[in-house]
A and B are shown apart, each in its own frame.
Chain A
Amino acid sequence: NAGVMQNPRHLVRRRGQEARLRCSPMKGHSHVYWYRQLPEEGLKFMVYLQKENIIDESGMPKERFSAEFPKEGPSILRIQQVVRGDSAAYFCASSPNPQGQPQHFGDGTRLSIL
């Protein structure tokens, strides 16, 4: 049973470039969550998506960040015009239902901005 798959594991971008992070949920899971973890800090909720719908994006920065979870294919977290402060580990988690269910995390994408 494949777990939550994220790619790439490591991503290096220069300031001003775009970063695309991908997440395929566990089989049977239709709820996807993105979290950001700055070095030596905790996990901060960014966005919660179901297939083709953004349910809660209260943790997303207002500019440059967007997320989608299309009918076919992985969920994508997109960061435009990256800045040094975007350097972090981005984790995706999935669950079969939104409430009262364990969220299983992928291995994360470590984004470094030069």
Chain B
Amino acid sequence: QQPVQSPQAVILREGEDAVINCSSSKALYSVHWYRQKHGEAPVFLMILLKGGEQKGHEKISASFNEKKQQSSLYLTASQLSYSGTYFCGTEPPGNTGKLIFGQGTTLQVKP
């Protein structure tokens, strides 16, 4: 039931791009993306509600393929501040409220 994120870890140089994938075996109502730095709270990045929807947040964008139950997070021209662990949280249909999080993808951006 837990969504699967890939890759598990990424190391980038500043300015490089990265893609983080989130795949679920269950039907989804929405996908939420969060970034968490060590010892801190998860910070909301964006939520995707519709099939094929794309959203953007600074140089971070995401897509959601409702039929495939997959979402991807795109980080372009990465900055040092992008380092952290990225989690996708999947929301099943049915007004449940709860999010089921993937295991996380650790991103390290080096100068």
Contact = CB atoms under 8 A, between A and B. Distances in A.
Contacts of B29: 99-100
B81 interface: no
Nearest to B50: A100
Contacts of A105: 34, 41-44
A80 to B, nearest CB: 23
Contact of A45 (B40, B47, B98, B102): B98
Interface string A66-106: 00000000000000000000000001000100111111111
Contacts of A44: 101
Given A45-B100, A107-B41, A99 B95 contact: yes
Contact of A99 (B34, B44, B96): B96
Given A91-B42, A99-B91, A55 B103 contact: no
B47 A100 contact: yes
Given A43-B87, A48-B96, A56-B96, A102 B44 contact: yes
Tell me if B's interface is mostly helix, strand, loop or mixed.
Answer: loop
Contacts of A91: 41-42
Contacts, number: 66
B27 interface: no
A108 interface: yes
A111 to B, nearest CB: 14
B41 A45 contact: no
A102 B47 contact: yes
Interface string A44-68: 1100100000011011000000000
B36 to A, nearest CB: 8
Interface residues of B, number: 25
Contacts of A99: 29-30, 91, 95-97
21 contacts: A33-B98, A33-B99, A42-B104, A43-B42, A43-B87, A43-B99, A44-B101, A45-B99, A48-B97, A56-B98, A58-B98, A99-B30, A99-B91, A99-B96, A99-B97, A100-B29, A100-B49, A100-B91, A102-B32, A102-B47, A104-B44
Interface of B: 2, 29-30, 32, 34, 40-44, 47, 49, 87, 89, 91, 95-104
